[in-house]
Structure 1
Amino acid sequence: MTADRPDSPGRPSPRRVTMRDVARVAGVSQPLVSIVFRDAPGASEETRAHVLAVAAELGYRRDERARLLRQGRSRLLGIAFEPVQPFHGEILDGLHTAAQERGYDVVLSAVTPHRAEDAAVEALLRDRCEALVLLGSALPQARLEDLSASLPVVSVTRAFDTQAFDSVATDDYRGAALAVEHLVALGHRRIVYIDADREAGGARRRTGYQDTMAAAGLGEQMLIERGGASEAEGAAAVSRLLAQDSPPTAVLAFNDRCAVGVISQARVLGRSVPGNLSVVGFDDSEQASLPYIDLTTLAQDPRLLAGTAVDLTVRRLEAAATDTPVGGEHVVLPAQLVTRTSTAPVTAAP
């Protein structure tokens, strides 16, 4: 026999099915239904099976968030991210997995051109998240320290050095150095860095480029071109560069998206990659290995970044539960050069 739904039979319910509805249809008390769903003693196996069957038929789902909030917990980790950044999507996948393994769930809040990061963070705070995990945060350190006075904060892909909160990032400085060393070994001298100074890691990548060029005796060849983290910004930058009397033979782009724009626009302008122009990206995102891109890049490990971020978060939460003071922990992960066909020995005269 089909159980009667809490509203008109045969029509979708316009409201959420409650524990009271389950009790009424099952013909038992609401406290007994609660006992069943808490898996507590006090209900026979037959009653348990009956209540669960009725709940399934009615489409009842226990409100875990409300239950946890009654216990003073939400077990929610709030994540602010930029949906336009493919690498953020790869980190998110790892965050979901790592949080679930530690008994937490995640709430996502997007940062977009029309929604500032502060607004995304405030939305997570309204959802009563227990901690904040911020991907590529552009907020000032003072603002992050203010937030950390109320709940744990972990910065991902942007490194800090403070006792107030934690961070995990790839070694952006060494990554840029590896890229320059690779291009110099291929015979390139006119190597340009397309900058994105406002993005997480931008300053360290720029400094890594500058120091390594200087160490190679190429200080006079050094050129930093204004760019950004998008394909369009990479395309615009390389258009300016290739219009110069002595265009570069190699480009280190801020990230893979920028590098894809460089490659695409260079080909539109009739230049061969890597024949006329070698290109290196940063991230080793999924698009880097596409056969028509095949980008040499610096690999970051999104799952390791995500797992480390969750470990740092849980460390803070567990310390707070026992009133144990902890200092800031800042993890720097190694970058790895992944060589593909977008770089080759220089063919133009230096």
Structure 2
Amino acid sequence: MEVNSRRPTLQDVADLAGVSRALVSIVIRDVPGASDATRVRVKAAADELGYRPDNAARLLRQHRSRLIGVSYVAAQTFHAELLDEIYMAAERSRYDVVLSAVSERRPDSRATRTLLDDRCEAILLLGSQAPEAEIVDLADKVPVVVIARKMSSVHVDVVRTDDEAGAVMAVNHLVELGHRSIAHVDGGRGPGAQERRQGYRKAMRAAGLEPRILPGGLTEEFGAAAARSMVEGGLPGAVFAFNDRCALGVLDVFLRAGISVPGDVSVIGFDNSALAGLAHIDLTSVGQDTAFLGGAAVERISERLDGGSGPLGKDIVAQPQLVVRGSTGPAGH
């Protein structure tokens, strides 16, 4: 038996329904010009043949792809949660999303080049660590929105959380619990790390406390290394980690060393990721509004692509929210 693998066309639907190709096009596009009976007949023929509109070809004729490229860090849980919001926002704006991951062996430049090759009309960069000059150069080619990173350039739009305010929230929470020795495991050169360090120092000075900053990073390994140095060199009363994954590394080392959290040391993270809410982790964390961040970024892209773009260099800032769980408690608890 011969199998016909050819994709059904408008003409095939027209032949089966016994109408003109132009009339089929009217029905498929759902525009005026066909009777109810004709619409029923055409749709039945399309269903029988398995016809589906070729949107890619249609958009190509219009010189549009309606694709938003998203470059993200594969290892970041927060990015995965943010992607879900971007998908939903893009669907509301009638765009599709193309993903390109950044990893240790796949740099930002390779990820964005793939998105350009796929004819993406605009690009969202999630927590990109690419040099600012490289991002500005990309913005000369297509509209770019950077998410979760502060930028000084007026040529790139930014949607971010107020990282400095979030760090102040974290420290103030610990100070209110009576803690006087509060260490910060920083994020190295990660997006938002500088602002969180600034917020930490600001809140510590305001409380009359001496800052203690330990080198860290974006993953559990960095948090674990910092925790081991604290176990060996003297425990603080509380630890504010750069993000939740870094905090998990701290918790793991403390647990293995027999250090009680929050009995001996309180620990707080940043991002309020799904991991933080797990019962056996129960991590106090500074939350980011992923629905707002994803929605605002896609909305800005839509403004740029569909008219009424306004001035470049918008800095859209969301306020963080402290989510208190069981990893923080009173000093000397």
**TM-score, normalized by length of structure 1?**
0.87
User: Cα deviation per residue 1:54-106 (whole Å; 9 max; x = unaligned)?
Assistant: 33233332121221121122222111112321211221111112222222222
Q: Which residue of 1 aligns with 2:219?
A: 230
Match of 1:305 in 2: 293
Of the structure 1 ranges 28-37 and 300-309, higher mean CA displacement relative to structure 2 is found in 28-37
Change (3 A) 1:115 1:26: farther
The residue number in structure 2 matching 1:251 is 239
Q: 1:222-280 CA deviation, whole Å, 9 max, x = no partner? A: 22212221123222221221111x22221111111111221122111111110111100
Which amino acid is 1:334 matched to? Q
State how far apart, in whole Å, the 2-side matches of 1:22 and 1:60 are.
8
Cα offset for 1:135?
0.7
| Residue 188 of structure 2 is aligned to residue 194 of structure 1 | no
AA matched with 1:8:
E
Residue matched to 2:270? 282
Deviation per residue, 1:149-170 (Å, 9 max, x gap):
2221101111223321100111
Quote the Cα distance in structure 1 between the aligned partners of 2:109 and 2:5: 35
Structure 1 residue corresponding to 2:82, chosen from 78, 85, 91: 91
Return closer, same or farther for 1:72/1:343 CA change in 2, 3 Å cut-off: same
Give the counterpart letter for 1:326 in structure 2.
Answer: P
Answer yes or no: is the 8 Å Cα contact 1:256–1:282 preserved in 2.
yes
- Runs of 5+ unmatched residues, structure 1: 1-6
2:328 corresponds to 1:346: no
Give the aligned partner of residue 125 of structure 2.
Answer: 134
Correspondence for 1:176: 167
SS at match of 2:158: strand
Amino acid at match of 2:2: S
Amino acid in the other structure paired with 2:270: F
Number of matched pairs = 333
1:333 to 314, 318, 323: 318
Contact between 2:8 and 2:50, CA under 8 Å: does it hold in 1?
yes
Corresponding residue of 1:4: none
Q: Give the corresponding residue for 2:148.
A: 157
Higher mean alpha-carbon deviation, 283-292 vs 324-333, is at 324-333
2:73 — aligned with what? 82
Q: Percent identity?
A: 49
Q: 1:193 aligns to what SS in structure 2?
A: strand
User: What's the offset of the Cα at 1:112?
Assistant: 2.1
1:311 is paired with a residue of what secondary structure? Answer: helix
Is 2:235–2:265's contact at 8 Å kept on the other side of the alignment? no
Deviation at 1:29, TM superposition (A): 5.8
- SS at the partner of 1:243? helix
1:3 is matched with: none
Q: Distance in 1 between matches of 2:204 and 2:111?
A: 39
- 1:299-330 Cα distance to aligned partner (Å, 9 max, x none): 110001111111222222234xx6x7623110
Structure 1: which amino acid aligns with 2:194? A
- Indicate if the aligned counterparts of 2:67 and 2:120 stay in contact, CA closer than 8 A: yes
CA distance in 2, matches of 1:20, 1:144: 46
Instruction: State the distance in 1 between where 2:168 and 2:32 align.
Output: 63
Q: Please list every run of 5 or more consecutive structure 2 residues that lacks an aligned counterpart in the other structure.
A: none
Instruction: Quote the offset at 1:344 in angstroms.
Output: 0.9
TM-aligned CA deviation for residue 42 of structure 1: 5.7
Partner of 1:113: 104
